[in-house]
């Protein structure tokens, strides 16, 4: 496995590099393919973001490309959370491959599998929520977004009467979605 550790807005120390290599080395045992792993560590510049130590990883395999992003108050914790997420992805990938290989009968037909695959379960809607839209300006919606602590907020624009969304961007700013009909 070839590991590349990069820093964005931060200088990556040797101790952090060794820690990342040790943690991500666990994945090498689970992936038989020769892989390339790119780990990018970043320090968010926005003071309102508490979890400002971000770890993003991309793993290229012969099959899918695995990606994960985690943030916390320290790079070690972000890397730990990132490795846990990637291990789950690798396990799903390996299970999917083994089901594909063992799911065929001797005559070449697939056996009927009554269980849902992990990928199908991920795509299923597991929760539905209803709420009343409040009329407000996009600036007020941004304040509400901060108060509820979510990544997005749906509201009715009091000027246009249309349903719109404000969301938190990864760079710390805010986005505003105005649907066109």
* % of the chain surpassing 90 pLDDT: 24
Triad 137, 44, 53: Cα angle to 5°: 125
Q: Are residues 157 and 117 in the same domain?
A: no
Q: Which domain holds residue 148?
A: 135-177
Q: Give residue for tokens 């066109």.
A: 180
Examine residue 44 and state whether it is found in any structural domain, yes or no: yes
Segment among 24-33, 83-92, 115-124 with least mean pLDDT: 115-124
Count CB-CB contacts under 10 A for residue 125.
5
The CATH number covering residue 95 comes to 3.30.160.100
Q: Give residue for tokens 């792993």.
A: 37
Examine residue 165 and state whether it is found in any structural domain, yes or no: yes
Q: Are residues 101 and 140 in the same domain?
A: no
Q: Are residues 97 and 22 in the same domain?
A: yes
Examine residue 129 and state whether it is found in any structural domain, yes or no: no
d(CA 178, CA 61) in angstroms, rounded, equals 38
Q: Are residues 92 and 142 in the same domain?
A: no
Q: Are residues 104 and 149 in the same domain?
A: no
Mean pLDDT of the chain: 81
Q: Are residues 90 and 172 in the same domain?
A: no
Q: Look at the pTM and tell me if it is higher than 0.75.
A: no
Q: What is the pLDDT of residues 1-21, one digit of tens each?
A: 788 888 888 888 899 999 988
Q: What is the pLDDT of residues 25-78, one digit of tens each?
A: 888 777 766 678 899 998 887 777 777 888 999 888 777 778 889 988 888 999
Q: Are residues 86 and 154 in the same domain?
A: no
Examine residue 161 and state whether it is found in any structural domain, yes or no: yes
d(CA 112, CA 42) in angstroms, rounded, equals 46
pLDDT of residue 40: 92
d(CA 89, CA 85) in angstroms, rounded, equals 6
Examine residue 128 and state whether it is found in any structural domain, yes or no: no
Q: Give residue for tokens 């000027």.
A: 159
At 147, the pLDDT band (50, 70, 90 cuts) reads: confident
Q: Are residues 56 and 86 in the same domain?
A: yes
Q: Are residues 87 and 7 in the same domain?
A: yes
Residue 68 tokens, joined: 């994960």
| More reliable by pLDDT, 130 or 127 | 130
Examine residue 130 and state whether it is found in any structural domain, yes or no: no
């Amino acid at each position: 496995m070839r590991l590349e550790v990069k820093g964005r807005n931060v200088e990556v120390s040797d101790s952090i590099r060794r820690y990342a290599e040790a943690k991500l080395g666990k994945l090498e045992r689970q992936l038989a393919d020769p892989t390339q792993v790119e780990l990018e560590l970043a320090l968010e510049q926005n003071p309102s973001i508490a979890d400002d130590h971000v770890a993003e990883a991309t793993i290229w395999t012969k099959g899918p490309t695995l990606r994960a992003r985690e943030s916390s108050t320290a790079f070690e914790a972000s890397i730990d959370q990132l490795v846990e997420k990637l291990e789950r992805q690798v396990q799903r990938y390996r299970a999917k491959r083994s089901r594909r290989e063992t799911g065929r009968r001797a005559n070449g037909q697939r056996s009927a599998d009554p269980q849902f695959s992990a990928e199908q379960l991920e795509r299923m809607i597991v929760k539905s929520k209803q709420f009343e839209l409040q009329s407000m300006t996009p600036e007020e919606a941004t304040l509400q977004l901060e108060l509820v602590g979510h990544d997005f907020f749906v509201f009715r624009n009091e000027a246009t009467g249309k349903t719109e969304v404000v969301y938190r961007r990864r760079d710390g700013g805010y986005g505003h979605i105005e649907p066109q009909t």
